[in-house]
Structure formats: C-alpha cells, structure tokens
Structure 1
Amino acid sequence: MDSHLIDSTIFGHQWATSESRAIFSEKSRVARWLEVVIELAQAQAECGIIPGDSAEKISQLRTVALPIEEIAERTRQTSHSTLGMIQVLRDLLPGTSAEHIYYGATVQDITDTSQVLELRAVGALVWRDLWMLEDGLLELAVRHRLTPMAGRTHGQPGAPISFGFKVASWADEVGRHLQRLSEGRNRWLVGQLGGAVGTLAFFGDRALDLRAAFCRRLSLGEPNIAWLSARDRVAEFSHLIAMCVSSLARIANEVYALQRREIGELAEKARASTVGSITMPHKRNPEVSEQIVTLARLVRAQASVLTDTLVHEHERDGRNWKTEWVAFPELCHFALAASSMARELVSGLEVDPTAMSRNLGFGASSEHLLSAMSARLGKHRAQGLLQDAYREAREDGRPLRAVLQGIATQAELAELSDVDLGASGAMVDRVVDTAVRRRASETGQWL
C-alpha cells in the first residue's frame, strides 16, 4: 500500500497532503462513484425513467459501508472497470431496485463525472493556496517596496532593484493564475452522460432532459455534446496547474539561489530540529525550495502525458481515459504538496537587507552613471568608455573613482554614491493596487 512515495509513511509529506489523499483515496473514489450513481438514479426518477421507489432505495446505499475487497475481487473477475462495484451494489438492493442501478449508463458516465468532481475539489484547494500566497506576497512587496538589492541577469549582479519589485513580480504572476482559474471554472466543471457512444439513444426522447437533471443535481454544468473522446478540459486544467506550480517553482528557485551563504539575502525559516547535513553541521539547506522545484518538474511531466490523451480514436478509447486515472491524481498530489509548501515558504521567509545592500557591489550605479554621461557624450560613446573603465578597475585593482577621473565630470562622479531603483516602487504600487481591486470581487473560495 505504501510502495509509492505519495503513500509513504516516511516520505509522504513531501509528495502529497492529507487533503490530496482524502480526495484520491480508494475509499473516496468508490464513495464518489456511488454518489454519481445515486444522483443518476435520482435524475432518472425525476424524468420518469425509473420508479421513484427504486431511486430512493438506491439513495439509501449512502449509509452502507461498501466492501472494498469484494468490489476489487469482482472487478478482477469481470475485467470491467465498474461492473464489480455494480454487482456488489445490486446485491445490497431489494427486488426490482437492483435492476435500476446504473441504468443505461456506461463506465465513462461514472468515471468522467467523478473525475470532474475531483477536479473541482483540487481546483478549490489550489485557489485557496494561491489566494493566501498572493496575500502574503503583496504584504512582503509593500514592506520591501524600497529595500535595495542587486538585480541579476545571466546569473550576475546587474543594476539595482528593490526586493519588493522582485516579490511584486511573483505576486502579479500568481494573480494571473487566479484569474485563469476563475475564467476556466465553468468550462471545466461539466458532467458526463453519453451512454454507449455519446448519443444517449438508450433514453429516447428523454435523453437531454435526463442529462440536464443529472448535471444539475451534481451542481455541474451541462455540456452541449458528450465528451467521451474530447479530453481537452482535463488537459487544459492540468496544464494550468502545471503553470501555477511552475510559478511557485520560480519563487522557490530564487530562494534556493539567494540562500547560498556567499549571497545570504534570503533564507527559509528553519526549525531548531532541522538538520542540514549529518556530516557538515554548519549547513542549512533550502529543503522546501528544492522540493517545490522537484514537484513542479513532475507536475509538468504529468501534464504532458495528459495532453497525449487528446489524441483519441473514434467514440471511446480506453487507452486515453485510463491514462488519466493514473496521471491526473499524481499531478494533483504533487501540485497540492507544492502549493502548501509555497505558502509555508513565503510566510516564514527570512529577508536580510544588510546582505542585499552589501551584494550591490561596485557596479550598482553603472546604469545610473551611464544615463548621466549619455546626456553629455551620447549613449554609445559613454557605454564604451565606461565598459573600458570598469574593466580597468577590475583587472588592475584600482579604485573605480580614480579610473573615472579622466572621463567623467565631478557631477557625474557624484552619481556613484546613488542607488537608483528606477520605477521599482511605482511598479510595486501598481501591482498591489491592481490585486486589491481584483480581490475585492473575489473570495478565498473558488466556488
């Protein structure tokens, strides 16, 4: 039972959450299938397809503890995805009620609709985590709106930015994901009722009324057409989740890099019991950050697998939706683990403004100085002179100011002491204002 790291007693906390396990456990899966079967029966009774008494008897199965092992044994015997459960349920029903369970339905009606219910549960948790994460990032951006640090390009220190500017970029990206989750919700949360090949011929002229009632009872949208072979909804949601988690990995990757002791600008919050290395006692490893990056890789991999399911053959192709049964839960476990860790990372993030200031280095004012000299000499001439001067100071070990004496005016040399954050603060303000306005029309609840 614990052969997968998701279910590992020792390592499971790094690959899943208690909430993700509650959604995808065997018991929950069977209970979800049963709920779909019950609501189908209720909708059929509502439309006059089966007797109301049968629907009521079927509904009473909610109170029965289903025998998972017996369902498993019958599934192996029948080699059918849901018939084992249906046989067990039929044995639990009196009289003709047993003939009315799973009436006119097929595997995908039950499992696809159940998967949409899983998607809804996962989407709600991702929304909650991103909503809370954005709130923490916005607060951090405001607090460090003008805290100077080195902006870095190609892995090297460049011109100054504020730490709030960096964080606001993270927050802005998370905010766009919240918008995407909001925009896609009605597109993804639709039920499936297609019957044998999607036409619902079994139900005659009551087919579409039944489908509408079925979806309404499950609080799902009704599709225009059966989507037995159209898997774009699952793939789209999965790729958005992959984007969300990759954005979390961008944040984590920055913390991972900036926690290096030779940089020391950020650090994960560490408990006293945390051990970085059993052979190097001085170490304080960015465990959470590296795990988020690892999880993001796995989420992207599963999202890619789920894209493959778009290539379907004819009106039903078990090779594809059975692939989803494996890839989709794994993607969701990893994603929810990552979003939970990201909240923990940001809420406990340690920021060292002193280290940030120290790491600005002697090139911190180069762009500012270039701007000042460009007004007098022209941009390209000033850039060439300054590049030579900085190289000379670096290679000869001479003070930069002394090297610049012959090419810069005293007013221009005064720019060396300035740390120009450009429009960092103004951009932070814009991000925060935009987020505050958007969040005023939202809540922490996806649905």
Structure 2
Amino acid sequence: MIDSRIFGHLWSTPESHSIFDEDARVRRWVDVLIALAQSQAEIGLIPTKAAEEIAELAQCDLPIESIAEATRTTGHSTLGLIQVLQGLLSPVAAPFVYYGATVQDITDTSQVLELAATGALLWRDLRIIEDRLLGLAVTHRTTPMAGRTHGQLGSPIPLGFKMASWADQIGRDLSRLDDGRERWLTGQFGGAVGTLGFFGGEGLPLRQAFCRRLGLAEPAISWLSARDRFSDFASAAAIAASTLARIANEVYGLQRREIGELGERPAARTVGSITMPHKRNPENSEQIVTLAQLARAQSALLTDALVHEHERDGRAWKLEWSVFPTLCHSVLTAASLTKALLDGLEVDPRAMARNLALVPASEHLLSLMSERLGKHVAQQTLQQAYRRAAEDRLSLAEALEGVATSDELEAIANVDLGSGPEMVDRVVAAARMRRQSEPEDWR
C-alpha cells in the first residue's frame, strides 16, 4: 500500500518517500561510505586521492538495477553495491571503498540517519499540531459540551478542556522525542564483531572521526547486537501516533450525524458514498486510527529484535530493514493527516448545547444537594429521580418536586464547567513556556 500509485497517499507522504524510497536509501549508504573514506584519509589509513574520488560518487547516477542484479548474483547484502561502486572508480580508489567495514556499519548508521530525518519531521508536525490545539483550546475555553464516560452522556465540560487534554498529551510526546535524541542519534562502526580489529590502534580514532563527519554521537561500545535505540524510538513514535489516533477517534465518534458536535471538512470533490449520497465519511479520522494501529504493531516487532544472539544475528537485525521504514511511513502519514484534520475541523456549538440539554446537570446538582442531605443520600435521591423522570416521561424538575429546594431546582438549568477553563489556562501557559526554550528543529 505504501508504494501504491492509487492508495499510497493514505499510507505514506512525499516526505516519507524522500527518506525511504530505494534510491534515497542507496544514496544514503553511499553518503555513509563517503564519510567513512574521508575519515580514513583524515587519519592516514587510505590515500587522500582515493577518498576524494570516492567522494565524487555523491554526484553519480547510481545504477540501481545493476546493484540489484549484483546483489542477487552474490547473495550478499551489500557486495553487489560494492562491486558496482568499484566499477565506477579508478584502480587507485576502487580498493578503498568500503575499506574494513561490515554490512552493519553501513546499514545501521544509515538507519540512524533515517531515524534522524523521521524524527525531525515528526517533531515539526507535532509542534504544529500542538500549536493548533492550543489555539482551539483558547477559542473554546468556555464552549459547553457534554462530557462522556463509558460512552454515555455525563457532566458538562468546555470543548477547550478536551482540546487542551489533547495538546497536553502532544506536549509529552514532544518531551519523549526531546529526551531520546541524544540516545538515538549515535553512529555505528564496529567491524566484523564490534572490536574494530581490522584497524588495530586506529579503530577508535577512526570511529570518532566517522561519527563526527555524520553529525552523530560516538558510542562508548559498538552496538551491533544492542538494538534498543531503534526500539526506543519506535515506541516513542508509536505512542505519538496513538495520541493522534486518540484525537481522530474522538472526531470520528463526535461526527456521527446523531451527535454532530465535531466534523472534518471534506474537500469540494470528496465523495462519501457512491450509494448513499447524504454521507460524509470521516476518511482522515479513520485512517489516522488505522495508521496508529500499524505503528504499534511495527513497534512491537522492533522490540522482538532486541533479543539478539551473540555479536550479530540476521534473524533479528534484518527484521528492522522491513519494519522500521513501515513504522516511519505510518507515523509521518498519521501526523500529516492530523494536521489536515485540524485545519478543517468543524465545531457545532448548537449540537453541543442540544446534546448537553439531554442530561440536566447531575454532578452540580449532586454537589448542592449533598450540602443538605449528605452525599450518599443525595446520590440515591437523584438516581431515583432520574429513573422516575425516564420511566414516567417527566422533566427532572417534575421528578424532584417536593424533594429538592427551589434553589436546587433552579440549578438544574445551570451549566457548571467546574475548573475546566482554569485547567485550559494552565495547559496553554505551560506549553507556551516550554516552547520558548524548545528548539524549533529537532536535530
């Protein structure tokens, strides 16, 4: 579905393809090889002229089909790439491409760079989403609607309270990305089993130069079989996608015609149903929920890769080659669709007032009657009155006649938002303070 020309826009974005399409991934491998050659020349391991020629590969059109054919012929993950690159180099430089490195040095470091690119886009989008939610929370700070518990109408809340809760959770998603950045953006260069034995005493200086050139942290120890960095990022990304799904799921539910409180604005040419012309299907909402389900599943698979045998285990490590890009496509697409959802979010205060009127203010009334009767007696009295009102088709005031005081009966019509508006203020203030010291760019 990600590569489908018909449906791909629902499962990926142009930006996610710019990271994970095959041309981009092979190009990134070559960039890592160039950084390796330059680092080796820097400390005198290979001739400077060889490194300079290898660096010119950045300008070459890479023959992907030739690399694919050579990979199938050799049965090795990167030997086909090596052979094709050697064919593009002179005899002076050809022996020094991929010099002393192993597959994981290149693919792991490339995957870290993919993580960095994905994290930067996710960081940008989450900040945009948070900003829009904060604005909506302020706008609807006192817009009353029915709160709901167990899927049923409950006490009143401000719509802004719901949106501030979403924004507050996005803020924690951003904090997780911020906290993990230094752990995740770490280069990999270990050689055959992680000891850099090929390079003798130059191994650690080479690794330092290699990581510096790529803008990555240098690890204390090679991490060929320690896969927690990718799993950790995947968990944070899947949680963020699930936050977006929480938002979308609410819009999906509140868009039902019989509720009609929120809705996603369809594009002018969008068709909800070819058999039921009245329908406006919540396309973005349901797709975000689906993408988050995929992200959680991919995150769980990446956790499986943590169980690694010895110093290299293709059974676990190569799992990431398929799973990690799918996770990133899913998360970035969910973020993109959420931005569109919020841009076109429709709010209907009249529908909110209509639905809120179906349940007179039970929590506020319970509080007032508890002062006179005690909480438990007041709760039992009100529960009986609500049941009688439903069974006998009475208003709550009629059902409470002779039981409640005049002040208590007057309170039935009041909409008490509790401390909801003040909590909105706190979320907005805390987020804006955090954003003042937060970098605009993730990396």
The two structures have a TM-score, normalised by structure 1, of: 0.98
Q: Where does residue 35 of structure 2 map in the other structure?
A: 39
Residues in 2 aligned to 1:363 and 1:378: alpha-carbon distance in whole angstroms: 22
1:171 aligned residue (157, 167, 172): 167
User: 1:270-281 counterparts in 2 under 5 A?
Assistant: 270-281=266-277
Residues in 2 aligned to 1:364 and 1:54: alpha-carbon distance in whole angstroms: 80
Residues in 1 aligned to 2:276 and 2:72: alpha-carbon distance in whole angstroms: 52
Report how many aligned residue pairs link the two structures.
443
Letter in 2 for 1:271: A
Alignment of 1:292 onto 2:314: no
Residues in 2 aligned to 1:297 and 1:412: alpha-carbon distance in whole angstroms: 47
CA-CA distance at 1:362 after TM superposition: 4.0
Alignment of 1:153 onto 2:149: yes
Letter in 2 for 1:319: R
1:244 aligned residue (224, 240, 246): 240
- Secondary structure of 1:159's counterpart equals strand
Q: Where does residue 340 of structure 1 map in the other structure?
A: 336
1:385 aligned residue (374, 381, 388): 381
**CA deviations over 1:213-247 (Å, ceiling 9, x no partner):** 00000000001111100000000100111000000
Letter in 1 for 2:428: V
Q: Is there any run of 5+ residues in structure 1 with no aligned partner, and where?
A: none
Residues in 2 aligned to 1:382 and 1:116: alpha-carbon distance in whole angstroms: 60
1:197/1:315 contact within 8 Å kept:
yes
Alignment of 1:415 onto 2:411: yes
1:158/1:364 contact within 8 Å kept:
no
Alignment of 1:123 onto 2:137: no
Percent identical pairs in the alignment equals 64
2:62 aligned residue (53, 60, 66): 66
Residues in 1 aligned to 2:13 and 2:239: alpha-carbon distance in whole angstroms: 20
Residues in 1 aligned to 2:347 and 2:168: alpha-carbon distance in whole angstroms: 20
- Secondary structure of 2:2's counterpart equals helix
- Secondary structure of 2:437's counterpart equals coil
Residues in 1 aligned to 2:413 and 2:401: alpha-carbon distance in whole angstroms: 15
2:422 aligned residue (405, 422, 426): 426
Letter in 2 for 1:333: H
Q: Where does residue 269 of structure 1 map in the other structure?
A: 265
Residues in 2 aligned to 1:141 and 1:357: alpha-carbon distance in whole angstroms: 18
Which range moves more in the overlay, 227-236 or 392-401? 392-401
Residues in 2 aligned to 1:362 and 1:25: alpha-carbon distance in whole angstroms: 53
CA-CA distance at 1:442 after TM superposition: 1.9
1:150/1:364 contact within 8 Å kept:
no
Residues in 1 aligned to 2:103 and 2:151: alpha-carbon distance in whole angstroms: 52
Please identify runs of 4+ aligned residues in structure 1 that moved more than 2 A. 361-364
CA-CA distance at 1:265 after TM superposition: 0.2
Residues in 2 aligned to 1:307 and 1:223: alpha-carbon distance in whole angstroms: 21
1:226 aligned residue (222, 245, 248): 222
Q: Where does residue 10 of structure 1 map in the other structure?
A: 6
Letter in 1 for 2:313: D
1:160/1:364 contact within 8 Å kept:
no
Alignment of 1:95 onto 2:74: no
CA-CA distance at 1:254 after TM superposition: 0.3
CA-CA distance at 1:361 after TM superposition: 2.8
**CA deviations over 1:237-274 (Å, ceiling 9, x no partner):** 00111000000000000000000000000010112211
Letter in 2 for 1:345: L
Alignment of 1:375 onto 2:371: yes
Which range moves more in the overlay, 227-236 or 61-70? 61-70
Q: Where does residue 53 of structure 1 map in the other structure?
A: 49
**CA deviations over 1:20-56 (Å, ceiling 9, x no partner):** 1111111111110000001001001111111111111
> Could you say what the CA RMSD is over the residues aligned between the two structures, in angstroms?
0.8
The two structures have a TM-score, normalised by structure 2, of: 0.99
Q: Where does residue 303 of structure 2 map in the other structure?
A: 307
1:152/1:158 contact within 8 Å kept:
yes
